[in-house]
Structure 1
């Protein structure tokens, strides 16, 4: 029995098909599980490491597309708005991913103590990177997951296993990104400050100069590094945040379609409808109708 198969059994015992990140009893460790393929679903990826254990998934961010299968892992170093689709999942063989939030104090400690320095010329600055997990990474992830079956050891062993896993990533192909994430003065951290500002002010317009001041960069430098990291311009990034928030509001039925567009920052209903359809493949009105219909059916069957 290989390690990924054993890991899948552990994750299956401690998860349910929520189709979202579900926290576990191990700090910062979560499980994503889907028992069926899904439609395009928006999400915000926060800084995280994920190891795909079974099934397949596709993720779109900016103009980029990534696909994951068992044995692949992906690393996210900044908040990224994405749209994901589970391509392959069955109740008897679900899509499963083990996910660990990146803990910056632990990363900073590793950067200070590591005698093996990461190869900063290898890899890229992209905020989401996909690759094949090394055997050392899989083994470290397996040890961390085993604590789900042995919770009495979590307090002592979880910090050690978490540090081992992050160290294995740090000295591997993802070292460049993790090293940058641990440094407050890095380009990644500067762009991260601009990203945090856009999340907080997604519904308001801004000037390029004001955002560059938040990041501590010139406008041209920010635009260049922002696109390298997120595969989007700052304006495109803000648009994705607006549209994801609009979908959340429509799902909760807080406002009507026109009101939703205005609430997230659109002054033109036609522009809101056009950009929503481009990202999600359907109009906001159609999605709102589907949500109402589903809720009515649920209420009727209850």
Structure 2
């Protein structure tokens, strides 16, 4: 039986179709399970590794678009606001992916003990990288997922299988990215400090000098590395966070359309409507109306 098919059976047994990431009883291991295609849905990816097991998905971040099919995997090394769409999923063949949160301490331990990683490869500084999983990576992910059927072994074997999976990634083309994620003073970590500030203060206006000071870089260096890592400028990044929070507010009906833009930091209603429509493919008013109809 194909290893991805076996892995899909395990993930199906331990998840349900919720279109949200679901934690498991194996530390840092989670599952995404959807049984139908979806419209554009916002999310913030945190540092993780993800292996697509079945179905197809498309993700937009900044000006980039990535599409994932079974056997594809992606690595996220900083918090990234994205918009995702499930392209292919059915109840009998759902979209399933296995996700493992990146643990800095574990990455640092591997970096100390593993061989020196290869030189920088194209795109290795980007915060989201996509590739095809090797047989070794799939096998390691399969062993980790099997623990969901044998929870009595989790305490002893989960740390070993997690290290094996991360090691397989580390000695491949993503080694440089994982090394940077484990280092507190790398350019990735410095940009990460600016990103964390933007998440906490997404409604706040700021100057380029202020954000560069938070990152511990010059303005030009921070702007260059920020765009290289996130595919966005800091201003574009903050805009994505604002729009995602606006969608959350409209979905939960905590505010009406007229006040939502102001609540997330917009001073111009027309700009809010325009940028919301561009990111999500529908106006905030249409989205709010659709949510109301769904709940009636």
State the TM-score bracket (shorter-chain normalisation): over 0.9
User: Which position in structure 2 is the counterpart of 1:53?
Assistant: 53
Establish whether residue 263 from structure 1 lines up as the match of residue 284 from structure 2.
no
Residues in 1 aligned to 2:53 and 2:117: alpha-carbon distance in whole angstroms: 26
User: Which position in structure 1 is the counterpart of 2:247?
Assistant: 247
Shift of the alpha carbon at 1:122? 2.1
Shift of the alpha carbon at 1:178? 0.3
1:133-169 Cα deviation digits (max 9, x unpaired): 0111100000000000000000110011001111110
Shift of the alpha carbon at 1:60? 0.4
| 1:1-302 mapped onto 2 (5 Å cutoff) | 1-114=1-114, 116-123=115-122, 124-296=124-296
Residues in 2 aligned to 1:131 and 1:118: alpha-carbon distance in whole angstroms: 17
Question: How high is the TM-score relative to the length of structure 2?
Answer: 0.99
| SS at structure 2 position matched to 1:254 | coil
Residues in 2 aligned to 1:164 and 1:147: alpha-carbon distance in whole angstroms: 14
Coordinate RMSD, CA, aligned? 0.7
Question: How high is the TM-score relative to the length of structure 1?
Answer: 0.97
Shift of the alpha carbon at 1:120? 3.1
Shift of the alpha carbon at 1:20? 1.2
1:73-99 Cα deviation digits (max 9, x unpaired): 000000000000111111110110000
Between stretches 53-62 and 117-126, larger displacement belongs to 117-126
1:34-80 Cα deviation digits (max 9, x unpaired): 10111111100000100000111000000000000011100000000
Shift of the alpha carbon at 1:118? 1.2
Shift of the alpha carbon at 1:236? 0.1
| SS at structure 2 position matched to 1:148 | helix
Residues in 1 aligned to 2:165 and 2:116: alpha-carbon distance in whole angstroms: 16
Between stretches 251-260 and 197-206, larger displacement belongs to 251-260
Residues in 1 aligned to 2:253 and 2:120: alpha-carbon distance in whole angstroms: 48
Residues in 1 aligned to 2:17 and 2:119: alpha-carbon distance in whole angstroms: 38
Residues in 2 aligned to 1:177 and 1:128: alpha-carbon distance in whole angstroms: 10
| SS at structure 1 position matched to 2:204 | coil
Residues in 2 aligned to 1:269 and 1:88: alpha-carbon distance in whole angstroms: 35
Residues in 1 aligned to 2:119 and 2:164: alpha-carbon distance in whole angstroms: 20
| SS at structure 2 position matched to 1:279 | helix
Aligned length in residues: 295
| SS at structure 2 position matched to 1:198 | helix
Residues in 2 aligned to 1:7 and 1:94: alpha-carbon distance in whole angstroms: 13
> 5+ residue gaps in structure 2?
none
